[in-house]
Amino acid sequence: MKSAPSGKHPRLSPRTPLSLRPAALDTARTPAKPVPVPVRPAYRLKGPLDYLLAVLIAVPALPVMAVCLLVVKLTSPGPAVYSQSRVGRGGRVFTIYKIRSMFHDCEKTTGIQWSVKGDRRITPVGRVLRVLHLDELPQLWNVLVGDMSLIGPRPERPEIVDDLRVTLGRGYDIRHAVKPGLTGFAQIHLPPDSSVRTAKNKLVYDRYYVGRMGFWADLRILALTAMKVVGLKKLYCRPPRHPAASE
């Protein structure tokens, strides 16, 4: 395996959009080395419980998903479902599925970058799907096949993971010690990543979850996720006690 070049690599500013990262970072790929965590008895039950709950959720979700797919297909050219590579437990890359909320092939001109507020790549229907989190429903399949859990850190794209390993250090891989999730401790408290700074803040929450995950923690996160979906986030969300230090 090729090692990273010995020269110094430029670091991303916390406010630098991923699309503006220096080209030199493309050669600074580093292998995944997740920090091992003790496998608690609760984690051994996590897989079967994920499967059971995913089946129970999928039954009422299937007609909703069918309507969403039809609306997307009728209002925007391109496939209704799209797939992407994401990094899962142990640094293993898997394929994630989502209902398309952006214009087809929009990254041909912009390159890989985070979605930000007012992103013009998002379709009008896609904005509604994202607000209601309906675009995530196909990921129940990823849970059923074992790539994901219902609860866990949000899986990120390999290209972004490689850059964040350089910028945030090896500690970033602690989030890969467990399966990624449809929802999670970081997701219910913080908005989607839009910069290195937001990714750094989320890493604080992901590390907290990995160190304290368990049945009751997951049950609480599921309940708070339901509150967030129906617009009751303000009832539980408070500013972090120890926010990530700014650079």
Q: pLDDT for 192-205, tens place per residue?
A: 888 888 899 999 99
User: Residue 99 contacts by C-beta under 8 Å, 6 or more apart in sequence?
Assistant: 65, 68, 69, 72, 80, 81, 129, 134, 135, 136, 137, 138
The answer to whether residue 11 is domain-embedded is: no
Helices (H), the chain: 41-75, 107-110, 124-132, 139-144, 158-168, 185-189, 196-212, 215-229
Nearest Cα neighbor of 246 from 8, 11, 25, 15 is 15
pLDDT band for position 17 (50/70/90)?
Answer: very low
Residue 212 falls in which region: left (phi positive, over 0), alpha (psi -120 to 50) or beta: alpha
The answer to whether residue 231 is domain-embedded is: yes
The answer to whether residue 69 is domain-embedded is: yes
Mean of pLDDT values over 72-85 = 92
Task: Please check the confidence at residue 5 and state whether its pLDDT lies above 50.
Answer: no
Residue 54 to residue 223: CA distance in whole angstroms: 15
Residue pair 177/36 in contact (Cβ under 8 Å)? The answer is yes
Residue pair 116/194 in contact (Cβ under 8 Å)? The answer is yes
Mean of pLDDT values over 101-107 = 85
Six-digit token string for 159: 């290209």
Q: How many structural domains compose the chain?
A: 1
The answer to whether residue 22 is domain-embedded is: no
Residue 155 to residue 158: CA distance in whole angstroms: 9
pLDDT score recorded for residue 240? 54
Task: Please check the confidence at residue 25 and state whether its pLDDT lies above 60.
Answer: no
Give me the residues paired with residue 149 across strands.
181
The answer to whether residue 2 is domain-embedded is: no
Q: What percent of the chain has pLDDT over 90?
A: 45
User: Residue 169 contacts by C-beta under 8 Å, 6 or more apart in sequence?
Assistant: none
pLDDT band for position 42 (50/70/90)?
Answer: low
The answer to whether residue 14 is domain-embedded is: no
pLDDT score recorded for residue 40? 65
Task: Please check the confidence at residue 153 and state whether its pLDDT lies above 60.
Answer: yes
Task: Please check the confidence at residue 118 and state whether its pLDDT lies above 90.
Answer: no
The answer to whether residue 243 is domain-embedded is: no
Residue 222 exposed, middle or buried by CB count within 10 Å (0-12, 13-18, 19+): middle
Six-digit token string for 177: 């010690």
Residue 58 amino acid letter? A
The answer to whether residue 246 is domain-embedded is: no
Residues of the domain holding 178: 29-235
What is the distance of C-alpha 25 from the center of its chain? 22
pLDDT band for position 111 (50/70/90)?
Answer: confident
Q: What percent of the chain has pLDDT over 70?
A: 79
